[in-house]
Amino acid sequence: MNPAAGSATRPSTLPPVRGRLTAGAPLAPLVWFKSGGAAEWLFEPADIDDLSDFLAALDPAVPVMGLGLGSNLIVRDGGVPGVVVRLGKPFARVERLDATTLRCGGGASGILVSSTARDAGIGGVEFLRSIPGTVGGFVRMNGGAYGREVKDVLVEAEVVLRSGERRVLGLAELGYTYRHSALPEGAIVVAATFRGHAEEPAVVQAEMDRIAAEREASQPLRSRTGGSTFKNPQGHKAWQLVDAAGCRGLTRGDAQVSEKHCNFLLNLGSASSADIEGLGEEVRERVKANSGVTLEWEIQRVGVNP
């Protein structure tokens, strides 16, 4: 069932906005897998006040979810009930606060953050260049790569809670663990402050180039993929467990375990989200049977089945 057609959330029940509010918005074009159903409502706020006012007036029973670049996400084929919030250009600014600190909008990409840091002579956030997502997602998931995580550089995060309340949260309040934070459901990260260290721009660029080359050599970057699929269990690499279980190249419909990096799932063309998620569950079963290790999803899976 299309959630836009079957829910009690009607246009008359939604608060007025200054940004864009779209009913039944297809999400497949907005996510890297290019699969899945529609958002009951897609809200692209004009600014922080627009978002805060909307959430404060929205029926508390209506679920709210943030959407960044859609890189680490499976949207189920029945779509996403409630409101999906997508932060656009007004939230994509990155500004230098001092010699080592940047304030970054929740909609800013990792590439924009790292390149702005380079131009400002700030090192330490180069790893964000390798994560295909936005600041809001990095902060929520404690995103990381190449030995660094958001918690290593975050000073504070500005969020709008589901209630519409605006809060500034420090590192301790975010309760970071591996690829997880204590941010409450429905909270939207609208900005974050990162602190690095003073560095020559050429040195920062060299590290960014090294990271880019390593990604190019090891990951299926030009495919329809959700990025890293499973978290690395303690003492293990997820891809090695997947490979050892004989899952490299495994398919279900048009979904495939990547031959190049088997902790990546691919949509070869017309895979449904059910195909992709089902393939991931089959991989988990095979790994459990082979090694006794239970893999945890790193990719978020949201929405409902048809």
Catalytic sites, residue numbers: 179, 228, 298
Alpha-carbon Rg for the chain in angstroms:
19
Q: List all residues 6 or more positions away from 243 whose beta carbon is below 8 Å from its beta carbon.
A: 262
257: left (phi over 0), alpha (psi -120 to 50) or beta: beta
Report the DSSP beta bridge partners of residue 232. Answer: none
CA quadruple 13, 7, 141, 88: dihedral sign: negative
Task: Give every strand in the sheet of 20-26, ordered side by side.
Answer: 20-26, 38-44, 80-86, 64-67
